[in-house]
Structure 1
Amino acid sequence: MVLNEVYPERMLSDNEKFERIIKTINKRFTTYGYKRIKTSAFEQYDLYSKVKSSINQNEMIKVIDHTGQVLVLRPDVTIPITRELAQNFPDLSSELRYFYVQEVFRQPIDRNDSIERTQAGIEYFCESSAEADAEVIALGCHLMKDLGFNDIKIELGHAGFFNELVRGLPLTPLQIDQLKSLIQAKNVVEIGPFLKSLEIKDEVREVIERIPFLYGNPADVIERTKGIALTEKIQDTLDYLMDIFSILKLYGLEQYIVMDLGLINHMGYYSGVIFQGYVEKFGKPVLMGGRYDGLGAEFGTALPAIGFACEIESLVKATESREVTSRLPIDIKITYADSRLEQAISIANELRERNYSVLSFSERKEHADLRQSVYSICLEKESNSFLYKGKNVQFSNLKELLELLVGGLEPK
């Protein structure tokens, strides 16, 4: 299912795009084995104020309950999910996959922005491995393709690259934040003078100055790191990123991947691979994520994990420059002769129980809905036919119909 297939319908409203995007997201996350999870809209302020790697507390929307306790409207989903799993699974004996579609609430920097935004994302609790990290990035890329975007770019980086470079340097937290901002903005004009004002070795300064240029095709970026004074840990990080890229090539997604060693995410709990996704003619990321192996320790247990989130409102805006006129195609459309109403209802109920999306119409109202379907079923007065990819096959009962649907998909 793709978002940009054009059918003879009116243009979609933003509300229809919103709902359609969520439906596509739910389906794609489910195909990767994720189960939906929900968290409370109100959380204790201490949950976020005491977690070292949390969001900016000035962005939180605080409220007071009837007991005088300070609560916050949910500013983040990853932290409460991790807390809940830490309480229920003190030892991660098996991998856990969850997804969510929920509102988050933060004070916006721009007064014109909304306090409330809808996030959809996944949390994959598993040991760190190139295979697991590549699978999550592939899921994000496949989701963007499902939504109909063709010009997709996934920037791939690692939180450990910058952290290792500045480890041990005589920098204050404020100076580190300033340096992060300059690197994130790729401000090559100001990075040099800023570094010269600090007491750091020339060879380290030269490496940091080169970070904004370490962007592009992964193989080319790695080639440009040669000759840089790297520690063994930094080299291991670069090798790991190339392992992820090699696996993404197996998914057939290499054309969408660029490496950015200057990639820095504002969520401080990311500790490993980080990534963000862009789509055509939209100036900010529509998808952001990374690995956060240390967050579970904030709640007294080891819960290594990787995840990402995308903002539904941004995805809606990203479709504004494109002609999106269709709704999601349905799985199955049933048309029936008036005398076959009972059979049509019976078949529709059975197929819905098997998780197919079904629309059913009398042949008198066949054109009441112009959405396309993957399969078509026609119940005429004395015959039944099944249509798929231009092939029309007769069937006599429900069992034969189900065999056509699941038996290799294409009827013989």
Structure 2
Amino acid sequence: MKRYDLITPEGTRDLLFEECLARRMVENKLTTLFSRFGYSEVVTPGIEFYDLFSGSSRNFQQESMYKLTDSKGRLIVMRPDSTIPIARLASTRLKDAKRPLRLYYNQSIYENNALLKGRSDEVVQTGIELLGGTNTKRADYEVLCTAVEALAEFDEEKFRLEIGHIGYFKELVARLDVDERVREEIRLLISQKNYPALNDLLDEVGENQITHTLKQLPRLFGGVEVFDKAAELFTDDKITAILSTLKEVYSRVSSLGYDGKISVDLGIVSHTDYYTGIVFKGYISGVGSSVLKGGRYDGLMAEFGEPCPAVGFGVNCDEIARYLRKNCLAPTLKSADCIVFGEKGYVVEAIAFAQKLVRDGMVIENSLFDTLEETKEYAASKGIHKIFIINENVSHIEI
């Protein structure tokens, strides 16, 4: 019989020592960066009512959420997303606050992934939300440039940011005479860049200009040439306006010294329904999946009674921490500066002396052993080279 009290649930794991140091460093760098750009921290509850994630544009699959009931029998979920709770918070607690609002968060999200996917069910995510403002282009530029700065914090040379527009996909797929299930399957196959399965599905739908364009969507990534390719495949007034908006954003952001780090990807089709405009993903070379995701979501706040344009992104701190440790870029665990040993009858005095050293800025350990020899053996095993000995006097030895 499996001892469930000795293991963690699938999709979760314990973190030890240097793993904790690496993740904390990632969190600290990001929160410091966001603070310097004028963002203020907010924290939302780890559990929320199920209803929060079942609105028209915030419809998370039931199977993907961890669910429980409260004392009154109401359905509760563990937070699967941070943007939606912050939209709720901004529409209620910050309803009368002057716009734009610049908010950042640093908290876990929970997703019940299918078994054997190799993905974590608990992820620490740090991100920003820029809510309000009359000029959405300025807001897009600010958030995209902040995203670039966030990636550059961890590797200035090996990151890239891919920018798309969810409107391109939504306009095309809305014109297909298929049900929502088929639309979702098309979206999933495009996001996976699964060309054979996508082609088979669209062949079943029927050959026309729209299905032909959707077949090419996963291939529409690269530089400025993508816009000409997309225009050749399908064009009308709405599509032209979407491509024009995206091209301007791409050109402006690329011109800010990020040339070569920014690319276009019209195949970014997030499973999150609330995105309405610019969408983007950030990558670091050597990490198999995106470490940053974001976009514009102008309709979400209206669902809480406070219409307001908004844009933001979240960073997967766990993925970046693993990357830093793998490439020896993370902090390492350091030994204490010294260990304090109190001889018999001087235990309290030893603790008092240790407290003084801590106030002076030293990292110390207090010996829990009865003899100096045992303390020496322990210190040697931990790489501690100085022992303070406390009796009627204070002395120290080097080992």
Equivalent of 1:169, from 172, 176, 184? 176
Q: For 1:109-258, list aligned pairs within 5 A.
A: 109-110=114-115, 113-126=119-132, 127=134, 129-199=136-206, 202-217=208-223, 219-258=224-263
In 1, distance between residues paired with 2:234 and 2:296? Answer: 26
Tell me the equivalent position of 2:337: none
TM-score by length of 1: 0.72
How far 1:190 moved relative to its partner?
3.2
Task: Name the SS of the counterpart of 2:260 in structure 1.
Answer: helix
1:296 pairs with 2:278: no
Q: For 1:270-309, list aligned pairs within 5 A.
A: 270-309=275-314
Instruction: Map Cα deviations across residues 134-167 of structure 1 (whole Å, 9 max, x no partner).
Output: 2211111111111235211111111100111122
State the AA in 2 paired with 1:237: I
Tell me the equivalent position of 1:387: none
Tell me the equivalent position of 2:369: none
Instruction: Map Cα deviations across residues 224-274 of structure 1 (whole Å, 9 max, x no partner).
Output: 224333111111111111111222134211221110111111111111110
Contact 2:293 2:315 in 1 (8 A): yes
In 1, distance between residues paired with 2:214 and 2:114? Answer: 29
Equivalent of 1:264, from 242, 251, 269? 269
In 2, distance between residues paired with 1:56 and 1:90? Answer: 29
Judged with a 3 Å threshold, the aligned counterparts in structure 2 of structure 1 residues 21 and 160 are, in CA distance, closer, same or farther, namely same
Runs of 4+ off more than 6 Å? 359-362
Tell me the equivalent position of 1:380: none
How far 1:87 moved relative to its partner?
2.0
Equivalent of 2:38, from 27, 33, 36? 33
In 2, distance between residues paired with 1:136 and 1:233? Answer: 24
State the AA in 1 paired with 2:185: Q
1:75 pairs with 2:55: no
In 1, distance between residues paired with 2:48 and 2:247? Answer: 39
Q: Please say which of residues 122-131 and 22-31 is displaced more in the overlay.
A: 122-131
Judged with a 3 Å threshold, the aligned counterparts in structure 2 of structure 1 residues 361 and 117 are, in CA distance, closer, same or farther, namely closer
In 1, distance between residues paired with 2:178 and 2:309? Answer: 29
In 1, distance between residues paired with 2:360 and 2:95? Answer: 48
Tell me the equivalent position of 1:87: 92
In 1, distance between residues paired with 2:34 and 2:303? Answer: 27
State the AA in 2 paired with 1:133: D
In 1, distance between residues paired with 2:34 and 2:121? Answer: 26
In 1, distance between residues paired with 2:120 and 2:162? Answer: 27
Bigger RCO (CA 8 Å, 6+ sep) = 1
Judged with a 3 Å threshold, the aligned counterparts in structure 2 of structure 1 residues 199 and 63 are, in CA distance, closer, same or farther, namely same
State the AA in 2 paired with 1:210: Q
TM-score by length of 2: 0.74
Task: Name the SS of the counterpart of 1:120 in structure 2.
Answer: strand
Tell me the equivalent position of 2:379: none
Contact 2:281 2:294 in 1 (8 A): yes
Tell me the equivalent position of 1:393: none
How far 1:15 moved relative to its partner?
1.0
In 2, distance between residues paired with 1:153 and 1:133? Answer: 17
How far 1:113 moved relative to its partner?
4.7
In 2, distance between residues paired with 1:79 and 1:21? Answer: 23
State the AA in 1 paired with 2:69: I
Give me the CA root mean square deviation: 2.4
In 1, distance between residues paired with 2:191 and 2:70? Answer: 39
Contact 1:136 1:307 in 2 (8 A): yes
Judged with a 3 Å threshold, the aligned counterparts in structure 2 of structure 1 residues 317 and 87 are, in CA distance, closer, same or farther, namely same
Task: Name the SS of the counterpart of 1:107 in structure 2.
Answer: coil
Structure 1: unaligned runs, 5 residues or longer: 1-11, 328-358, 363-412
In 2, distance between residues paired with 1:226 and 1:64? Answer: 50
Judged with a 3 Å threshold, the aligned counterparts in structure 2 of structure 1 residues 273 and 66 are, in CA distance, closer, same or farther, namely same
In 2, distance between residues paired with 1:244 and 1:134? Answer: 7
How far 1:51 moved relative to its partner?
4.7
Task: Name the SS of the counterpart of 1:255 in structure 2.
Answer: coil
Tell me the equivalent position of 1:410: none
In 2, distance between residues paired with 1:248 and 1:95? Answer: 21
